[in-house]
Structure 1
Amino acid sequence: MNPIKQFGVDVKSKFPVERRLVIGDVYCKYFFFDCSRPLVVAFGNAGTVTSKSNITDDRYSPWGFDISKSLDCNVLAFSCIEDTSWYRGRELHSFIEGISGFLLSFPFRLGYGGSMGGFAVGAFASVLRLDRVLLLTPITTLSASIMPSESGHRKSKSLNWSGGYADGADFNAGGYVVYDNLLRRDTLHAKRYRNLKHLRAPGLGHGLAPRLQAIGMLKRLVTDFINNDVDEVWFRKSARNRRFLPRYYNELLQRKDLLTPRRVAILKRYRRAALAYQGEDAFGDGFVAALREAAVKIEGDNLELSHKLLAGASILRPDGPWIKNKLKEYEKKLAAM
């Protein structure tokens, strides 16, 4: 059956309904159980793309699916397959346009996404008729004509950024954008969301969701967002618990141009204390060595994933010369692809 027709049948059928679809280069999974409950529409980020082996696995769920389902919400989740295609395929666009009217069966439609997924939530917010959105360190667009200052994601910039759904900040729904305001690029993107409330998490970096989860904030933030009851004072106070995360100090130590030698020494001392608090083995030499070994082992088959693994290792060991040189090598190869 045509995916749009199948979706329409499932919305009107006897609940609960859970189904997976492949729409071009995007994997989709949805779960409907109660038309009186909100629908969460989630889009996965570049670090959570779906592998081909997972497409037929009933146990697999894309980013945002499980947490939304656990909070008694209907959920419609999307994830790019194998590669970071940024949800630019025409098949996906047609599917989203085709199901738009069916979504009015739900009383509230909420968008949830981070980074690349945050872009998609904003890009499709209007056609999906979203009431509110929760965006974690979103990238608003890679279109050079819309945002010429965006310097990252070189390979993905070659995608077709003309036509519709190219600007993730062009929508009217309310909600929240959460980001590390010490990161200039993320701040520039966040400033484009003039209709959203801003929640700042300095020092937590671009990979925000797992770090909010590590300090016990993510589930409450999502829950309060769904209930339209986010306590901004709670968020600011709770975000101070980042001082217990070694990654928080690793993020700060990467900004050496803004730090004095004395400040660097203080941050390293605090990082050692945070490592001791969490258990040295969690982010010790063995873990970093495993990331390095894995990156080198698969670089011939998946250079992008090797780069991500080594980038993670560099956060834990920002002064490692081998990691720095290897990252430069990967970046040159990726730029040439």
Structure 2
Amino acid sequence: MPSPETSFVIVSYVSEATPDLERWLIYHLSLGVEKVIVYQPPRLFRQPSDMAVFENAGRVLRRPSQIDVGAPLKSAIVSAMSEQDFSDDTLMVALNVGEYLSIGAGFRPVAREVAELSAPFAAWALPLLKPQDASILEAGEQGDMEFRTIFRAGAFRGHNGERPVVALNEQDCLWLNGAGRKIDPDRAFWRPAEEVPDDALGLVIKFSEDVDPLLFDEDSRGALTLAYADRQIAQGVSEDQLRALGRAGTARANVPNPPCASHDRPETPKATQPPESVGADAQYCPEWYREIGPGGTVPGFFRRLDHHSLVFIRRPSDTLVITFDNLSAVNDLSPQRGPWAYKVLRQEGCAHLGVLAHRKDWFREPNLIAALVEMRDQGVFKAYTNVILSGTSMGGFAALAFSSLCPGARVLSFSPQSTLDEEIVPWETRFGMGRMRNWRLPFSDAAFEIEGAEQVIVVSDPYFKLDQWHVDRLTTPNVIKLKAWFSGHFSPVFLHRADLLKPVMTKMIRGTLTEDAFYQLYRDRRKLPWYKRSLEETLVQKGHKELASRVGPAFRRAKTATK
């Protein structure tokens, strides 16, 4: 059985320089990984190393790849198992750069998390969560998913790149799945319908520029992992810091824990369990309900539809803000769930109509459309001097598309789609669940619905082509296009991490969000590690590797200058 002091080693293969390498290394070293063994093609191994500071600190070992068994990661792990002398209890895993271990309910040392499993194991198969696997994970099937496997070095003789093979003692070779439960290794990978909980105890999250927005919501497990990594890299990468990183007595700054792991989760959702006492009642009562409920001071209502909900908080104000959920909120079953942007709108004292989504349908639902049209016909929207619609991605589409219900309204839309009608945007290859919805319903093409709005402000990354093609369809004179350079599809998350989202929302509410005001705020983007990585990746993709190599030093100089 591994102990909390067991050595943990990652093996990887790096064939070219990548902007994510430094963050990926620091993230895993901070979690107690003792060493990362990196295999490279001989031509790259002979060049100056991008990992020199890690090598000097004794935390990275670079090796030339001499074995070619058809797949780079397989070649690397086979080489490591044949060349290196590991103790039998050493824990190992083969990962590509960009694949992040996520184990347990926080960011404690990996070996300690493993040591607390209820059963000793020889191998622990962790699902590799990628964009195309999101629907598989939700459906609870893993037959077609890839895996990465943590295993004891002394238990196996070989590896196929995904899992260890040739157990030294078949009878003593216990396998666990992502939930930490015992499984039959013969069924673990090629038999369908193995259960994979939404929040598996252990999984590997693969981050890339085309990752599904679900993983990057600020409260999701993927986003918390990324935020933790950013905090680690922000604290420095000197040789002395790297020597101590992740080892006893060298704790660094943390971030809030991700949602509870599956083994800690009650069998039924909290929302269905009655509170045991009056004190517990507050735990299950969302903040917005305290405002409009029997004990509240603000009129309003909650209305549950088939696949959506409406929360209307009639705070005394001449400004109404209508917000729409994005993809990441769809699977949130917590009792405390609230409308998008609830906190900032409460602080500003605005009336708030929140449209909550319970499936990924881009608000293509006749009952919802009828409910919003009914509110228009009843004069609800006309009662306010200022009406603002806002949302991001799927919610950004809705903010644009439903703006025609409120002529003269203003819109703030982050990284939106203009439509998912395949006849209009045949080039859109994302969001399969959205594209299959009924795009013959009203309010289906934002490009035509925004004509009556007073002002439409769209925030997006001009270098993210798919998003930009949608933005290019918005051609009416009332459209202001603000460029969130190098934020990818996640402009509001980018702004949030730079502490800019709240000021942007506040200026929009107060009517002071102009191009000059936005770009003055946006100058602080240079402090954000995400901006640095995105800039490097863009330059590399465009063939400007020399320019990309200058970004890191410039970034550090900028940070030093602001201290």
- TM-score relative to the length of structure 2: 0.43
Q: Provide the alpha-carbon RMSD of the alignment.
A: 2.6
SS of residue paired to 2:404: coil
Match of 1:63 in 2: 340
Q: Is contact 2:461-2:489 (8 Å) kept? A: yes
Tell me which structure has the larger Cα radius of gyration: 2
Shift in Å at residue 129 of structure 1?
A: 3.9
Is 1:19 the counterpart of 2:305? The answer is no
Deviation digits for residues 258-292 of structure 1 (CA, Å, limit 9, x no counterpart): 13222232235556789999xxxxxxxxxxxxxxx
Distance in 1, Cα, partners of 2:537 & 2:440: 35
In structure 2, relative to structure 1, the CA distance for the partners of 1:205 and 1:274 (3 Å cut) is farther
Q: Unaligned regions of 5+ residues in structure 1, if any? A: 1-9, 278-337
2:470 to 185, 189, 202: 189
Letter in 2 for 1:107: T
Q: Is contact 1:204-1:242 (8 Å) kept? A: no
Q: Unaligned regions of 5+ residues in structure 2, if any? A: 1-291
Match of 1:140 in 2: 418
Distance in 1, Cα, partners of 2:557 & 2:437: 44
SS of residue paired to 2:440: coil
Distance in 2, Cα, partners of 1:48 & 1:263: 38
Is 1:124 the counterpart of 2:405? The answer is no
Is 1:267 the counterpart of 2:551? The answer is yes
Query: How do 1:249-328 and structure 2 match up within 5 A?
Result: 249-255=532-538, 256-269=540-553
Deviation digits for residues 139-166 of structure 1 (CA, Å, limit 9, x no counterpart): 1111112222222212321111123121
SS of residue paired to 1:206: coil
Distance in 2, Cα, partners of 1:117 & 1:145: 21
Distance in 2, Cα, partners of 1:102 & 1:50: 29
In structure 2, relative to structure 1, the CA distance for the partners of 1:254 and 1:84 (3 Å cut) is farther
Shift in Å at residue 177 of structure 1?
A: 0.9
Distance in 2, Cα, partners of 1:50 & 1:130: 33
Is 1:207 the counterpart of 2:490? The answer is yes
Query: How do 1:153-232 and structure 2 match up within 5 A?
Result: 153-170=431-448, 171-172=450-451, 173=453, 174-194=455-475, 195-232=478-515
Shift in Å at residue 40 of structure 1?
A: 0.1
SS of residue paired to 2:446: coil
Is 1:79 the counterpart of 2:356? The answer is yes
SS of residue paired to 1:161: coil
Q: Is contact 1:119-1:138 (8 Å) kept? A: yes
Is 1:105 the counterpart of 2:383? The answer is yes
2:392 to 106, 114, 117: 114
SS of residue paired to 1:126: helix
Letter in 1 for 2:434: S
Distance in 1, Cα, partners of 2:345 & 2:443: 25
Q: Is contact 1:122-1:168 (8 Å) kept? A: yes
Shift in Å at residue 21 of structure 1?
A: 2.3
Distance in 1, Cα, partners of 2:547 & 2:375: 54
Shift in Å at residue 132 of structure 1?
A: 0.7
SS of residue paired to 1:146: coil
Distance in 2, Cα, partners of 1:201 & 1:225: 16
Shift in Å at residue 200 of structure 1?
A: 1.0
Q: Is contact 2:308-2:357 (8 Å) kept? A: yes
Shift in Å at residue 48 of structure 1?
A: 2.5
Match of 1:235 in 2: 518
Q: Is contact 2:461-2:483 (8 Å) kept? A: yes
Deviation digits for residues 42-74 of structure 1 (CA, Å, limit 9, x no counterpart): 0111123252x33xx3x4312122221211100
Structure with the bigger percentage of strand: 2
Shift in Å at residue 29 of structure 1?
A: 1.6
In structure 2, relative to structure 1, the CA distance for the partners of 1:126 and 1:141 (3 Å cut) is same
Distance in 1, Cα, partners of 2:560 & 2:487: 19
Letter in 1 for 2:375: I
Distance in 1, Cα, partners of 2:402 & 2:446: 8
Distance in 2, Cα, partners of 1:271 & 1:88: 43
Distance in 1, Cα, partners of 2:533 & 2:458: 23
Deviation digits for residues 295-321 of structure 1 (CA, Å, limit 9, x no counterpart): xxxxxxxxxxxxxxxxxxxxxxxxxxx
In structure 2, relative to structure 1, the CA distance for the partners of 1:231 and 1:164 (3 Å cut) is closer
Shift in Å at residue 224 of structure 1?
A: 1.5
After TM superposition, the structure 1 stretch with the greater mean CA deviation from structure 2, 243-252 or 260-269, is: 260-269
Distance in 1, Cα, partners of 2:482 & 2:297: 36
- Identity rate, percent: 25
Shift in Å at residue 118 of structure 1?
A: 0.9
Letter in 2 for 1:117: G
Is 1:31 the counterpart of 2:313? The answer is yes
SS of residue paired to 2:401: helix
Distance in 2, Cα, partners of 1:183 & 1:253: 14
Letter in 2 for 1:217: L
SS of residue paired to 1:29: strand
Aligned residues: 260
SS of residue paired to 1:61: coil
Distance in 1, Cα, partners of 2:492 & 2:414: 7
Q: Is contact 2:382-2:406 (8 Å) kept? A: no
Shift in Å at residue 183 of structure 1?
A: 1.2
Deviation digits for residues 47-103 of structure 1 (CA, Å, limit 9, x no counterpart): 23252x33xx3x43121222212111000011211x311111111011111111322
Shift in Å at residue 254 of structure 1?
A: 3.5
Moved beyond 4 Å, runs of 4+: 268-277
Letter in 2 for 1:267: V
Distance in 2, Cα, partners of 1:99 & 1:229: 28
After TM superposition, the structure 1 stretch with the greater mean CA deviation from structure 2, 105-114 or 229-238, is: 229-238
